[in-house]
Amino acid sequence: MTFFVRTASRNDLEAISSLLGETWHATYDAIYGPEKVSEITTSWHSVKALETRLTRPESEFIVADDAERIGGVAFAASSDPERKLVMLHQLYVHPDLQGQGIGTALLEEVIAAFPDATTIRLEVEEANSGAVEFYRAHGFEAIGRTEDCGGDSGIPAAVYERRLSA
């Protein structure tokens, strides 16, 4: 099956919410426990929460789609007026599809969507070794830590950056 990266639409939100729930449980249940993961996914990954991303200025909300299902999702935004710094808020691939290039395709599309950017930054749970390895393999380097991943979670995370040629 071949996945194509495209802009997310309102019709995708249920599938994206489901994908994020499954992926979060597979990734984070062992770290935070199933209850905490359910609480987070209910709050952060509801259709209503995702819907605001469709119209957020200076952002890119994309999915990897094979015409039968959505296999991955990414969301990035720039709040920098000059669009030099891009925050990659999410990049998730369904656990059954990881290692097939979907994450790389999503990351490449996010970067291409911000041609003036010089830096892309993200926050990642350090215990999520698969994600840490993925980002390091794609040129990201640890630059620090945050005690509040996403700005409102109370969850600590490592902060990674990659310099871009713009």
Tell me the pairing of strands 141-146 and 85-93: unpaired
Please report which confidence band the pLDDT of residue 162 belongs to, taking 50, 70 and 90 as the band edges: very high
**Tens digit of each residue's pLDDT (9 = 90 or more) over 24-80:** 999 889 888 899 889 888 888 999 999 999 999 999 999 999 999 999 999 999 977
The candidate with the shortest Cα–Cα distance to 117, out of 151, 76, 160, 158, is 76
Q: From the CB of residue 144, how many other CB atoms can be counted at a distance below 10 Å?
A: 11
Task: Indicate whether 151 pLDDT > 60.
Answer: yes
Top CATH class, 4-163: alpha beta
- DSSP alpha helices (H): ranges in the chain? 13-32, 34-44, 47-51, 102-112, 129-137
166: pLDDT strictly greater than 70: no
Nearest to 61 by CA among 50, 49, 75: 75
Residue 80: the pLDDT is 76
